[in-house]
Amino acid sequence: MLFFIIILLSITGSILILYKLFIYKFLSLTVQVKPQICYKENAYDTCSTNSGCGCFHMDVTPGVGVCGFLWVACAKLEPCDLSSAKKCSNENNTICVHHPRCHPHPVCYPTTMLDERICPPEDRT
């Protein structure tokens, strides 16, 4: 029984790694920035050495988000088009994230505010 649990945990860990890689590659290809993936329980949890950054949960992945600059003006954020497969226009360089301080529904967030140059990863020492 313990053997099967270990195998299951190993498979689950592998799936999580593949999922993280998929999200990272998808964002890198579609938005041309290097975002940092965060696994945080709460919206806006710390994810960077920059205290002005926090974790934005993605619309399609509960509990998984991207680390981004928190202080983009809410008036500049448009609601995601939940009826469309694209949700946000690629021409605007945005992705759909939850930002409850601005809107109760997901918003199109500028990908330029998700770059690791703005929100460098936390020290993992």
106 in a structural domain: yes
Q: Which of 88, 84, 124 is nearest to 108 (CA)?
A: 88
Say how far residue 13 (Cα) sits from the centre of its chain: 19
Q: What is the domain extent for residue 41?
A: 2-114
One pLDDT digit (tens) per residue for the chain, 125 residues: 443 344 434 555 544 444 444 444 444 444 456 788 998 889 999 999 999 999 999 877 778 899 999 999 999 999 999 888 778 876 678 889 999 999 999 999 999 999 999 999 987 65
Sheet containing strand 94-97, edge to edge, reads 37-38, 61-69, 53-58, 94-97, 107-110, 78-79
What is the spatial distance between Cα 59 and Cα 87, in angstroms, rounded to a whole number? 10
60 in a structural domain: yes
123 in a structural domain: no
Beta bridge partners of 121: 48
97 in a structural domain: yes
Question: Whole-model pTM?
Answer: 0.69
124 in a structural domain: no
120 in a structural domain: no
Number of domains observed in the structure of the chain: 1
122 in a structural domain: no
